[in-house]
């Protein structure tokens, strides 16, 4: 394993046992990615692996090879060892083979084949972080915090996160059965989903009422900031924008730079987020620029238990800078940053390298963001037979209002019934606009 050798010799168990220190030196001198080489520090004396630990590893390796019920090749054993090393660190660090690399690229660019859920590990159990909009998972009613007990007939109890993701992905048109356990329910349920090509548009927008815009970001992809900017411009083309609802519910996160770009659309100065890690290049600060699409439009940001990572960066920045009112329920609490580091064999390492902090210095890791106004998910329903669900606009041949049709009024009533949190956000925005006028009249 020296530079003078034309190729690396095959290491046997005997080499492991007899050359413990040589192995340690070889591991520590593997080339790092270019950006990591600039900041990597020479290993301290206490960073050297104890020879006894290396020998124990080699002994276990040998016994598995000699006595395991099925024959296992060296490459499989080594990769399993690497995956085990990473799996015990945190739920987000992982070894990525070439297929995993491709899957990660597809996710960030917005197209892949699967069922449309972001998953993670909570207390050792595979858990849904968020269903993606307009996907089989969302249409089947899967929710954040649902626990996945089985994938088809395979229990997930001892399954790694990457194994679970690989099992849920597949060819378009194939069925997959998930066994789901939801908090508050007595028994698990089986949900059958049909895989499809997921082409996620991360940004949607519409006017909920004259002057009141709705901006939905389902995840943070590489072009989300640009798409959000265009959406705000489109809303403003329809007239004065009196208020805006930014919906980050069930947004599992994504690209850090895109989260910064979105927050920058609403902030014209100040810190958005900063990160801190062990290496100097992990310490970064992101601040708002003066070029801002909507610096003074009243805002309500909707969050819930499925709002994670990049979504929490945006929500935390707008909350700390008192730029928006946060409404909903406590967010997921993923406050760590992962880097994908290429390896010499073409595979990669997704490694947690830093924690991020809101402008006020809050770490969200395992804590989440508390909304300013708690509004739980609900549905507004009128008691049957009460008569309260009939209004003048519902009567046949009613006279129309000369100031506008009734379709928008009906639509807003329907909104309050189907999405209680969104309806309350619209009410709050209207109140924020009324308050300055009321104060000015005193």
Q: How far is CA 190 from CA 16, 124, 181, 186, 196, in A?
A: 48, 21, 9, 13, 19
> Is 320 known to be catalytic?
yes
Helix H, strand E, coil C: the string for 208-235 is EECCEEEEEECCECCCHHHHHHHHHHHH
| Cβ pair 93, 352 in contact under 8 A | yes
Token reading at 38: 């600039």
Neighbour-count burial for 311-345, b at 16+ CB within 10 Å, e otherwise: bbbbbbbbbbbebbbbbbbebbbbbbbbbeeeeee
Closest Cα partner for 250 from 126, 144, 97, 95?
144
> Is 65 known to be catalytic?
no
**Catalytic-role residue among 334, 336, 350, 419:** 334
> Is 309 known to be catalytic?
yes
The three-state secondary structure class of 377 is coil
**Catalytic-role residue among 202, 320, 331, 419:** 320
**Catalytic-role residue among 93, 258, 307, 309:** 309
Question: d(Cα 211, Cα 235) in Å, to the nearest integer?
Answer: 9
Question: d(Cα 31, Cα 23) in Å, to the nearest integer?
Answer: 15
| Active site (catalytic) residues | 309, 320, 334
């Amino acid at each position: 394993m020296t530079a003078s050798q034309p190729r690396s010799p095959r290491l046997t168990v005997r080499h492991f046992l007899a050359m413990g220190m040589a192995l340690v030196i070889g591991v520590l001198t593997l080339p790092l990615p270019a950006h990591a080489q600039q900041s990597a520090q020479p290993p301290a004396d206490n960073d050297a692996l104890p020879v006894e630990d290396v020998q124990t590893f080699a002994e276990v390796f040998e016994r598995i090879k000699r006595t395991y019920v099925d024959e296992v090749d060296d490459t499989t054993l080594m990769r399993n060892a690497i995956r085990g090393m990473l799996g015990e660190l945190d739920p987000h660090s992982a070894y990525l083979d070439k297929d995993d690399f491709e899957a990660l690229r597809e996710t960030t660019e917005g197209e892949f084949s699967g069922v449309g859920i972001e998953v993670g590990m909570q207390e050792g159990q595979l858990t849904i972080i968020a269903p993606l909009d307009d996907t089989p998972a969302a249409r089947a009613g899967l929710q954040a915090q649902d626990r996945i007990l089985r994938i088809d007939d395979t229990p997930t109890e001892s399954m790694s996160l990457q194994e679970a993701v690989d099992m849920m992905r597949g060819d378009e048109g194939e069925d997959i059965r998930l066994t789901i356990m939801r908090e508050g329910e007595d028994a698990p349920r089986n949900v059958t989903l049909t895989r499809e090509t997921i082409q996620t548009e991360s940004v949607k927008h519409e006017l909920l009422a004259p002057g009141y815009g709705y901006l939905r970001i389902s995840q943070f992809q590489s072009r989300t900031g640009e798409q959000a900017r265009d959406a705000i411009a489109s809303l403003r083309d329809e007239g004065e924008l009196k208020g805006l609802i930014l919906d980050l519910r069930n947004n599992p996160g994504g690209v850090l730079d895109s989260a910064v770009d979105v927050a920058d659309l609403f902030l014209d100065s100040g810190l958005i987020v900063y990160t801190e890690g062990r290496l100097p290049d992990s310490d970064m600060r992101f601040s708002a620029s003066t070029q801002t699409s909507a610096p003074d439009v009243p805002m309500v940001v909707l969050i819930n238990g499925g709002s994670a990572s990049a979504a929490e960066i945006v929500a935390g920045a707008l909350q700390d800078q008192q730029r928006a009112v946060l409404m909903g329920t406590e967010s997921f609490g993923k406050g760590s940053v992962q880097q994908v580091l290429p390896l010499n064999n073409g595979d990669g390492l997704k490694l947690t390298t830093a924690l991020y902090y809101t402008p006020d210095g809050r770490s969200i890791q395992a804590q989440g963001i508390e909304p300013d106004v708690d509004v739980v998910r609900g549905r507004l329903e009128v008691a049957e037979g009460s008569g309260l669900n009939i209004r003048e606009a519902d009567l046949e041949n009613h006279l129309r209002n000369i100031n506008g049709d009734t379709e928008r009024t009906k639509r807003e009533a329907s909104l309050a019934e189907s999405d209680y949190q969104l309806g309350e956000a619209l009410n709050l925005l209207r109140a924020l606009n009324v308050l300055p006028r009321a104060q000015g009249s005193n």
